[in-house]
Chain A
Amino acid sequence: ETGVTQTPRHLVMGMTNKKSLKCEQHLGHNAMYWYKQSAKKPLELMFVYNFKEQTENNSVPSRFSPECPNSSHLFLHLHTLQPEDSALYLCASSSTSGAANEQFFGPGTRLTVL
């Protein structure tokens, strides 16, 4: 596979469930990102990892827990979510997290919390 892949593409979960989103990039990049995209709201940056180190946490609630075991993989662990967490979760990667680096996005995971 090429580019940035995300699994699952769709996820429905209850508020007491625990699930994980997976992102994998095949571009040799060193920076990976999680974004949340809700209807009629801007893309919200959640987390940034640069060379496997978390460099940004945009005041994200602790019910979202990222994990970056290596530069190619990024996970978002979900626990006791709320209905307002329903959104499209996008993963992206870039060569580094610096200024002009083009970000390549995955197709996203459409999450519905019941």
Chain B
Amino acid sequence: GQSLEQPSEVTAVEGAIVQINCTYQTSGFYGLSWYQQHDGGAPTFLSYNALDGLEETGRFSSFLSRSDSYGYLLLQELQMKDSASYFCAPHSGNTPLVFGKGTRLSVIA
């Protein structure tokens, strides 16, 4: 079977750093994707990790540890516009993505 865990809500201060964790159990695991969704908007792709380690894209970084079935999304220099829901989604073979319930990030002044 598959399971996916990420915190339901996180609050952080503008300019700070926040880490959103994701643990998963997926047979035939290939890699882990992250998506962002603003209220009323569509999910948009942020990153994909197939190998262990940190992938950096501007203010956002994503980390994967395959042996721990764990990943995280790191957001630096938080801005108000980063307030959104963030979904981790493990890939398994040729089956489509499985999305978790998402983490709602609130950035406060």
Residues of A within 8 A of B (CB): 4, 33, 40-43, 45, 48, 56, 90, 92, 97-100, 102-108
Contact = CB atoms under 8 A, between A and B. Distances in A.
B87 A43 contact: yes
A84 B12 CA distance: 34
B100 to A, nearest CB: 6
Main secondary structure of the interface of A (DSSP, over half): loop
Main secondary structure of the interface of B (DSSP, over half): loop
Nearest to B50: A100
Contacts of A104: 45
A105 B43 contact: yes
A97 B96 contact: yes
B30 A106 contact: no
30 contacts: A33-B96, A40-B101, A41-B101, A42-B4, A42-B99, A42-B100, A42-B101, A42-B102, A43-B43, A45-B98, A45-B99, A48-B96, A56-B95, A90-B42, A92-B43, A97-B94, A97-B96, A99-B30, A99-B91, A100-B31, A100-B50, A100-B91, A102-B45, A102-B48, A103-B43, A103-B45, A103-B97, A105-B43, A105-B44, A108-B42
